[in-house]
Structure 1
């Protein structure tokens, strides 16, 4: 039995429309029945629960999808059905009574509340050819019930191969645009063509050196002493360093120019690590920023993650400095340092911090990722610390940042654990 171009698919309106989109793309139904809520009932829901907007997000994406030619029929629950299980079942059966028992209905219940899923289960028990199924986000498996459930599980895949960030964001009511500062590394499972390999090799070589010889190699740059990592992070200090523009206006000239200090540091590092290659860090975009250390750390982490996922078929997309917009406005509401998109619609958002992480900031990124990827989102905090740094005299702001991330229930990945932790996250 084949499970595409089916006749009837029932879905539940949900914030996490990616799951409905995967079900629709996989089964290619001719008719879609969307169990949603009437406008009057929606108004009584808690703030942030907006089924009408969720429905519009899905319809907008399906409208531009050339592979989907299905009519969406909204089955709008009123207060009368919402509070009574039997009335809910009667309402659904009445609206679908034109479908005889010999024609299977596929019931996708991932987005539904448990009480409604129980009601659908009762309906399916009396329809011998129907299949009820659930996309389990943590295990990334399909759980189904019905006559042909084993065949259904073996033939229908919980994945998409052509999902990209733009579609994933639009399904949540957000958007992303091509901006100069955004770096695309992978799209729809294919490595980007314009990747600067000299830059990639530079940062991967620097990462390996930092964790090995660089951990014990001490430098003295402009009277400041420490390892490369210690001096890189020290450059964030506003009491010791200043930008070139600020230096021109500074009457006392008591602080060092941040970029000059880092250029001298990299000159010394190149003498110690001969694998850094041709990349011109001194004239790079990151070195032109007010605080280069943060951008350097972001690329250090980003390219290490890319090295781990570049050939992994589960990762469809990877971008750095990805800006998120609300609808089609020009107002950027958030910037994601490093973000991955899996073939099951999970968004993995990596927040890189070479300084402090305020509690509000942590909560903001946790919320943004949740909204963008529904309940399967995973905000992750990347720190330049290695685990043993927590017991030493390392930058107190960084240790405090780890503590803030823990309080916000955000996963932390230490510098030396990137490869093994990324592999665990992908599965």
Structure 2
């Protein structure tokens, strides 16, 4: 079997067979790649959609959320692929319509459904996407191709972790041979709204993409991030020793957290000037800091929360710009994204499902949801973020808790929460208790919710580690 590129795989496709799935982005990406590669052609394609009826879920008919809501999943996909743009006809084959009610036999039922797609074809005209769907269906598809000796058909599989696509084809011995496509299945036209729509969600699409536009007061947040970095870098201090480094780290964070208290704005500005001077950081833009503090005066106890979100956006943007140098894998970076169901099942009294602090999307349809916490977070909030990250992006959703600590301090927090109670009087533990109890509460909640926890200085390494198989830049 010869090596193929993505363009070569899809350029002759006339029949596209998919399985209904919650994670419809895996069915959408190949279809959109075909559209992009055949813009000059006008040939119509046929999409066969293997799905199941709601009879499987009689016990859930009155539920707002069903475990296997195939009908909704199908609507999610076809709502974002208008026929006038994608030039297709669609035929839905409901697998369990073939079920023998007297003698249930899932294998025969699936086989009967698949045999309805017994179409003649030339090389590469039929593509079976076996990424989504129940494993029993996928096995029957492979068995059907072998039994019918469909040697011209391709099967494709999208591997989410590495963002690679694999394709298979029968050889002369009627056995499958599989190869990795020569390039990854990125879709650089894939926007965040489409990703959410494919899961049945939406957001108000008037939010800036900070990968394409500048953050307001970016120079100020950059200075705050510079102070943050220098507090961690002992070589940047006038007195190069660990004790001074730790002193500045704690002092800087204490001053930031104090911003959550009403009336601390002016004191914060003066303290930032003093710390910046000692760290040799030029703070000529202190008037701009005053504007930021004043802008959040009405928020009273939330000022640092908003400032920390903007510091995080800038840090994520800088990390992405470095990681994106060769490939532009990350596509959109958005702040304060309010999510709701496309078809509001909650009624007029609930306008939104939740709000994501920061969202970063990728060309493979994966989404990182950042929850920024400089204060308390209930464990229910953490669990809700985990749920909504997966609800809006399937297994491609990744929730992360960002806290204003350093990587080195996070290890101390972990020892404090899970260490020997006899050592709780150590100075570093005392500082945590006296100054950061709210953030410790958020940390505990994130652990109970099974969220990853990053410090502000871990963002670049964290993103690189998450997508190490997709990114050529390893630094």
TM-score, normalised to structure 2, is: 0.75
Q: Give the Cα–Cα distance (whole angstroms) in 2 for the partners of residues 426 and 199 of structure 1.
A: 30
Q: Secondary structure at the match of 2:181?
A: helix
Cα separation, partners in 2 of 1:264 and 1:196, compared to 1, 3 Å: closer
Instruction: Give the secondary-structure state (helix, strand or coil) at the position aligned to 1:185.
Output: coil
**Deviation for aligned residue 1:194:** 6.9
**Is residue 3 from structure 1 mapped to residue 9 from structure 2 by the alignment?**
yes
The residue that corresponds to 2:120 in the other structure is 99
Of 44, 54, 66, which residue of structure 2 is paired with 1:47? 66
In 2: Cα distance, 1:269 partner to 1:78 partner: 68
Residue from 349, 358, 375 that aligns with 1:338 = 358
1:252-291 equivalence runs, <5 A: 257-272=263-278, 273-276=280-283, 278=285, 280-284=288-292, 285-286=295-296, 289-290=299-300, 291=302
Shift of 1:59: 1.0
SS of 1:339's partner is strand
Determine which of 332, 338, 359 is the counterpart of 1:323: 338
Alpha-carbon displacement from aligned partner over 1:107-150 (angstroms, at most 9, x marks no partner):
11111111111111101223111112211112222233214998
Which stretch shows the higher mean deviation, 296-305 or 205-214? 205-214
Cα contact 2:368–2:400 (8 A) shared by 1:
yes
* Structure 2 spans left out of the alignment, 5+ residues: 36-43, 238-243, 345-349, 417-427, 469-475
Q: Which residue of 1 aligns with 2:160?
A: 137
Query: What is the total number of aligned residue pairs between the two structures?
Result: 395
Distance 1:135 1:229 in 2: 43
- Structure with greater strand percent: 1
SS of equivalent residue, structure 2 residue 80: helix
CA contact (8 A) 1:320 1:339 kept: yes
Q: Which moved more, 1:11-20 or 1:227-236?
A: 227-236
Q: 1:56 aligns with which of 63, 69, 75?
A: 75
Matched with 2:34 is 27
Could you list the per-position Cα deviations for residues 7-33 of structure 1 after superposition, in whole angstroms to 9, with x for gaps in the alignment?
011111111111111021123471111
Distance 2:87 2:217 in 1: 40
Distance verdict in 2 for CA 1:231–1:366, change over 3 Å = same
| Cα distance in 2, alignment partners of residues 268 and 178 from structure 1 | 41
Instruction: For residue 332 of structure 1, report the CA deviation from its aligned partner.
Output: 2.6
Deviates further, 160-169 or 271-280:
271-280
Q: Partners in 1 of 2:275 and 2:299 — Cα distance?
A: 20
3-state DSSP of counterpart to 1:263: helix
What secondary structure is seen at the aligned counterpart in 2 of 1:184? coil
2:196 aligned partner: 169
Alpha-carbon distance between aligned partners in 1 of 2:151 and 2:216, rounded to the nearest angstrom: 53
Give the unaligned 5+ runs of structure 1.
220-225, 243-256
Shift of 1:99: 3.5
